[in-house]
Amino acid sequence: MTRVGIPAGLFYHYYYPLWKTFFVDLGAEVISSSLTNRQTVEKGIAVALDEACFPIKVYFGHIQELNELGPDYLFLPRLVSVEARSYICPKFMGLPDMIKASLPDLPPIIDMVVDMSINSKGLEQEIKRVGNIFTTNEKAISQAFRHGREELCKYRQLMQTGFSSSEAIEIWEGQERLLTTSADLQLGVLGHGYSLYDRCISMNLIGHLREMGCRVKLVETCSQDEIEKAAASLPKRVFWTLGRKNVGAALHMASDDEIDGLVYLACFGCGPDSMIKEFIERRSNGKPFLGITIDEHTGEAGLLTRLEAFCDMLRRRRKIDFESNLPPYGQYACGSENSL
């Protein structure tokens, strides 16, 4: 059986169920690298360009691990655009070339071009081209892709209930996962899924917040309408798909009284994040905001300290608001207007 390798990084977190179903239905065996660990990071850093952002470096590590499993093909899609009038970060466009240049001893690469910026005709042709590697039966190819999209819908529904992509993939693969229900704080937690939902890259940021008594609201728990409506309040349309989702979700959450604060995880060296993080911070309507920038040198202890301090601050702020005799801005610090 032909073995297709899908690295467990970058857009794995958004589309793995689609591509796995597609290849399996065409009769291939799909293998993927293990979830990111310290060795993956070290291997990636050793070969990737210094200028690359952290998740791209980690992706290089995934490809090397996957290559050791001996796949017949590596699936490295060239993502340009996944929706009309919007684009994915330019680093994704050149990714297959960067990988071929840095890692010469790889099996044949399936570098399907995904460009839906104008329409989906190009993607249909690419699906057919890739499907022809496995079969000449055109009906089977389109059925496999349709089935892939159905599985993608199921996976997205899981994420809408509050699971991160890593958790949703585990559930989709048949494992059991439960969400914590007891929490006294509710936080909006944002960032690119391939960093935020990767437990090693994010140093388990979501898991730590849940352990600290926070219910976490993610971009995927907001509806498309809520995101687009909030993002439309910006003077200019954000044409990066992930950037717009993050800004839209953040602005929507910022107007939600139930949300105590916002946390944004950015990667050092990320061009879009350098702007998107600022946008969110400046327009978050006074909502407490914690911006965290990580790279391969960031330590987990420092991250924990910042998360704990943020949660403590939110709890103190709530207590002060409740008691009303110690307002946070110094007014009536010795009693209210109506008492001595």
Q: Which stretch binds ligand SF4 (CB under 6 A): 36-44, 214-222, 256-264, 269-277?
A: 269-277
Neighbour-count burial of 161, counting CB atoms closer than 10 A to its CB (0-12 exposed, 13-18 middle, 19+ buried): exposed
DSSP conformational letter for 2: -
Binding-site residue total for ligand SF4 (CB under 6 A)? 11
Of 287, 210, 279, 211, whose CA–CA distance to 243 is shortest? Answer: 279
198 binds ligand SF4 (CB under 6 A): no
Q: How far apart are CA 94 and CA 262, in angstroms?
A: 32
94 binds ligand SF4 (CB under 6 A): no
Question: Are 202 and 195 a contacting pair, CB within 8 Å?
Answer: yes
Q: How far apart are CA 191 and CA 265, in angstroms?
A: 5
56 binds ligand SF4 (CB under 6 A): yes
Q: How many Cβ atoms are within 10 Å of 221's Cβ, its own excluded?
A: 16
Q: Which stretch binds ligand SF4 (CB under 6 A): 50-58, 118-126, 127-135, 212-220?
A: 50-58
270 binds ligand SF4 (CB under 6 A): yes
Of 179, 171, 131, 138, whose CA–CA distance to 154 is shortest? Answer: 171
Q: Which stretch binds ligand SF4 (CB under 6 A): 35-43, 52-60, 78-86, 255-263?
A: 52-60
267 binds ligand SF4 (CB under 6 A): yes
Shortest distance, CB of residue 328 to ligand SF4, whole angstroms?
A: 34
Minimum CB distance to ligand SF4 smaller for 6 or for 294: 294
Minimum CB distance to ligand SF4 smaller for 279 or for 332: 279
The binding site for ligand SF4 (CB under 6 A) comprises: 53, 55-56, 89, 91, 192, 267, 270-273
